[in-house]
Structure formats: structure tokens, C-alpha cells
């Protein structure tokens, strides 16, 4: 009895549709996680991830769990109980960073800004200078609001205070240029199911040498054995010692997904994401959808739009349901405070194409009339 889930155009906040070559790679027969042929593939994956992250960090690797685990890995390795962390919160995922940090036992200072706006850089800098925290954490690409947060100034303030910088790049990796090394980011995490056009399940992460040194000098071991970068280094560093069994098929998929990205080139891919998002905003304006985020801070892979009265009156969840069940198109609703008032429309990776915008607009017109 084969899997019979129906065809979907995935224009929500993720997963996006996987590239056909990625799906084909998933079906390739398994080898062992210590097989020389697999280790060679893992080298390639780590190297291509370094390119997309804009880093030379040796500890750049696909963590064997989703982006939320990547977030936890970055924070749990760098924070010890009692440490201070300043978290910039401009959406749900910044809020999650606070929750994760507080469970680690860290003292959390939240610097909030309105959902839909970027962080206030001077408020962040003030908090950092005052608290001088172990870690400064914030979100580059807020999937809950569609805000793209500028990084360098906040990272510089963090370094002035001797802090480590943790950055959420879940919805930016492979859709926009990242420059971890130039920006001074010490630990970053992403997901495979957004701009990489791979299935969900892995979290590409990168740790600077300074971060890895810090992990090795901790007073208490990292609370999670599974996420301890010191132990992960045994497998993902040069020695290839068994830690846990790598998810072979997901790594095949990521390897192929990364090849597709590199064949296109990140510059062209970035241009394509920007063009598709612009086209989306222009095409939905006549229907009354208005961008939530000010120009200049919009996240091309994920556009957030305030809903027109026609959609609110019909019940926005019902309209989305009709798009999904009658037209095979998934778009995302709002999260947290924005639930019921916005949609989140992802044009990520392979899906960032004007033809997909046309399809969505046609389906929406049909649904609303």
C-alpha cells in the first residue's frame, strides 16, 4: 500500500516542496554511517554548508534533528546554569529562544519589539552593555513575522561585551547570503525544509572555534549528551568516531539539495527569492492584502500579509482550508498574537517562482468569489 498523500504546492512557512532530485536521492539504498563512501558524502555536505553559511568553521554539520533541536544545541552548548543571556524577541522564535534558555537554567533578559518590526538595535546594545551576558541570541529570519533582521551591529555590540552570538537562520540559509564569519556569529542553526528544498528533519548548524573552545572549557558538561558539540566533534570532525547513527537518507537528500543550490549559485537564488516575493506582494495587493513588514526589513522567502476584510469575513482558516483541499495549495496562518490577522506565504527554494504566485492568485480569486 504506497503512500497516497495528495499533491500539494507548499507555500506555507515550511516545509516547502522538495526538489525532484532530492526526492530521488532519498530513495537511494542505504550504506552504513561509517562507510567510506558515506563519510566522503558527509565531507561534501559539511563543505557546501560552510559555503552557504559564509564560514570556515570546522564544526559546520547537519545535526540529526529538526531546527528546534538546532536552536537548543546552540544555546545548550554555550550556556551554563546561572549564565546570562540577552535574547532579542521580535516573534515566536525569539520567544522560543527565551524558553529554551530558561530551561537550561540561564538568566534571560528579553529585549522585545513589536511583532512585524525588527529589533531595536540600540535597545539591544544597551541591554548587552548593561548585562554583559555570556550569550546574545536573536533571529535573522523570523518565520513568525517575515522580518529580516540586520545582524552586524548587534553582533558587534555583543563582541564588545565579550558575549557569544547565537543566530537563528532557519528561513534564510540558501535563500539569502549569510556571512557568519564576517558578522561575528559564534553559533547558528537552520533547517532543511525551507530554502534548501529538502524534507524537514535535519538542522544545519555551525559553531565557531571560539564557541567550541568555550564548550570544552565548561565547568559542567552540556546537559544534553545528544547535542554536545564536544562529542559531535568526534564524528563530524576528522576522526569519524561513532556518536549516534547518522540519518543516512536525510543526508543523501541534503547532499543533493546542496548540489542543486550550488549549481544555481546563491546570487541567482537570492535574486529569484526577491523577485518572487515582490511579485507576490504586487499580485495580492489588488485583492486587499497588505504587507505586515516595512520595506527594507522584509524576508523574501516568507512574506507576511495582513488579511483583507473579505478573507476575515469568510473565516481565514476556512479560506486556507479551501485553498488546501480544493486547490492543493498550502499557505500558513499567523502565529501567536498574529493568529487570525495575517497569512504567512512562503516562496522558498524551488518554490520561489512567479508561476507559483500565479497559481495561488488564481486559486484565491476562485475561492473568494
Binding segment toward a second copy, per CB under 8 A, in 52-60, 92-100, 124-132, 270-278: 92-100
Whose Cβ is closer to a second copy: residue 151's or residue 338's? Answer: 338
Considering the rule CB under 8 A, would residue 96 count as an interface residue with a second copy?
A: yes
Write down the H helix ranges in 208-315: 209-216, 229-236, 248-264, 266-284, 309-314
Scan residues 323-342 and list those touching a second copy (CB under 8 A): 324-325, 330, 335
Binding mask 183-202 for a second copy (x = CB under 8 A): --------x-x-----xxx-
Position among 245, 265, 310, 318 found at the interface with a second copy (CB under 8 A): 245
DSSP state of 140: S
115 Cβ contact partners less than 8 Å away, ≥ 6 residues apart: 90, 91, 144, 145, 336, 337, 338
Q: Please give the distance of CA 146 from its chain centroid, rounded to a whole number.
A: 12
Scan residues 251-270 and list those touching a second copy (CB under 8 A): 252-253, 255-256, 259
Shortest Å, Cβ 78 to a second copy:
15
Closest C-alpha among 136, 177, 176 to residue 153: 136
Whose Cβ is closer to a second copy: residue 2's or residue 286's? Answer: 2
Scan residues 22-41 and list those touching a second copy (CB under 8 A): 23-33, 35-38, 41
Whose Cβ is closer to a second copy: residue 199's or residue 291's? Answer: 199
Considering the rule CB under 8 A, would residue 369 count as an interface residue with a second copy?
A: no
- Give the integer Cα–Cα distance in Å for 106 and 100: 9
φ/ψ bin of 242: left (φ > 0), alpha (ψ from -120 to 50), beta (otherwise): beta
Considering the rule CB under 8 A, would residue 8 count as an interface residue with a second copy?
A: yes
Shortest Å, Cβ 230 to a second copy:
12
Task: Specify which residues 18 forms β-bridges with.
Answer: none
Scan residues 214-243 and list those touching a second copy (CB under 8 A): 221-226, 242-243
Whose Cβ is closer to a second copy: residue 41's or residue 157's? Answer: 41
Binding mask 128-167 for a second copy (x = CB under 8 A): ----------------------------------------
Considering the rule CB under 8 A, would residue 95 count as an interface residue with a second copy?
A: no
CB of 7 closer than 8 Å to CB of 329: no
Scan residues 38-57 and list those touching a second copy (CB under 8 A): 38, 41
Whose Cβ is closer to a second copy: residue 35's or residue 358's? Answer: 35
Whose Cβ is closer to a second copy: residue 41's or residue 155's? Answer: 41
CB of 7 closer than 8 Å to CB of 328: yes
Whose Cβ is closer to a second copy: residue 7's or residue 286's? Answer: 7
Binding segment toward a second copy, per CB under 8 A, in 58-66, 131-139, 149-157, 279-287: 58-66
Considering the rule CB under 8 A, would residue 318 count as an interface residue with a second copy?
A: no
Whose Cβ is closer to a second copy: residue 179's or residue 242's? Answer: 242
Interior CA angle at 323 toward 318 and 329, to 5°? 140
Shortest Å, Cβ 268 to a second copy:
19
Considering the rule CB under 8 A, would residue 21 count as an interface residue with a second copy?
A: yes
| Count of Cβ atoms closer than 10 Å to residue 321 Cβ | 12
Considering the rule CB under 8 A, would residue 248 count as an interface residue with a second copy?
A: yes
b/e map 229-260, b = 16+ CB within 10 Å:
bebbbebbeeebeebeebbbebbbbbbbbbbb
Shortest Å, Cβ 326 to a second copy:
13
Whose Cβ is closer to a second copy: residue 99's or residue 313's? Answer: 99
Task: Specify which residues 107 forms β-bridges with.
Answer: 84
348 Cβ contact partners less than 8 Å away, ≥ 6 residues apart: 14, 16, 171, 175, 194, 195, 197, 273, 301, 302
Whose Cβ is closer to a second copy: residue 105's or residue 152's? Answer: 105
- Give the integer Cα–Cα distance in Å for 279 and 14: 20
- Give the integer Cα–Cα distance in Å for 300 and 348: 8
Amino acid at each position: 500500500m504506497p503512500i497516497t498523500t495528495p499533491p500539494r504546492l507548499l507555500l506555507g512557512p515550511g516545509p516547502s516542496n522538495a526538489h525532484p532530485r532530492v526526492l530521488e536521492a532519498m530513495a537511494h539504498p542505504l550504506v552504513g554511517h561509517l562507510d567510506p563512501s558515506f563519510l566522503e558524502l558527509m565531507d561534501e555536505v559539511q563543505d557546501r554548508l560552510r559555503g552557504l553559511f559564509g564560514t570556515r568553521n570546522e564544526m559546520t554539520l547537519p545535526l540529526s534533528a529538526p531546527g528546534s533541536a538546532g536552536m537548543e544545541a546552540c544555546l545548550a552548548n554555550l550556556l551554563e546554569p546561572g549564565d546570562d543571556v540577552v535574547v532579542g524577541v521580535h516573534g515566536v522564535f525569539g520567544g522560543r529562544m527565551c524558553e529554551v534558555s530558561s530551561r537550561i537554567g540561564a538568566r534571560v533578559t528579553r529585549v522585545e519589539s513589536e511583532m512585524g518590526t525588527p529589533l531595536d538595535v540600540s535597545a539591544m546594545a544597551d541591554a548587552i552593555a548593561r548585562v554583559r551576558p555570556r550569550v546574545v541570541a536573536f533571529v535573522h529570519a523570523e518565520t513568525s513575522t517575515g522580518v529580516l533582521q540586520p545582524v552586524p551591529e548587534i553582533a558587534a555590540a555583543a563582541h564588545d561585551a565579550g558575549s557569544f552570538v547565537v543566530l537563528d537562520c532557519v528561513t534564510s540559509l540558501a535563500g539569502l547570503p549569510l556571512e557568519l564569519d564576517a558578522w561575528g556569529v559564534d553559533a547558528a542553526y537552520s533547517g532543511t525544509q525551507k530554502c534548501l528544498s529538502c524534507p524537514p528533519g535535519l538542522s544545519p548548524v555551525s559553531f565557531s572555534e571560539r564557541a567550541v573552545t568555550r564548550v570544552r572549557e565548561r565547568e559542567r558538561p552540556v546537559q544534553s549528551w545528544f547535542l554536545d558539540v564536544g562529542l559531535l566533534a568526534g564524528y563530524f570532525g576528522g576522526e569519524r568516531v561513532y556518536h549516534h547513527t547518522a540519518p543516512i537518507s536525510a543526508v543523501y537528500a541534503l547532499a543533493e539539495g546542496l548540489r542543486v543550490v550550488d549549481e544555481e549559485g546563491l546570487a541567482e537564488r537570492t535574486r529569484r527569492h526577491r523577485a518572487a516575493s515582490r511579485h507576490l506582494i504586487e499580485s495580492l495587493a489588488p485583492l486587499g492584502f497588505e504587507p505586515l513588514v516595512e520595506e527594507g526589513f522584509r524576508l523574501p522567502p516568507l512574506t507576511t500579509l495582513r488579511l483583507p476584510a473579505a478573507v476575515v469575513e469568510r473565516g481565514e482558516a476556512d479560506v486556507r482550508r479551501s485553498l488546501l483541499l480544493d486547490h492543493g495549495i498550502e499557505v500558513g496562518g499567523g502565529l501567536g498574537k498574529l493568529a487570525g490577522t495575517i497569512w504567512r506565504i512562503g516562496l522558498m527554494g524551488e518554490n520561489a517562482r512567479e508561476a507559483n504566485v500565479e497559481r495561488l492568485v488564481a486559486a484565491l480569486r476562485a475561492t473568494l468569489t
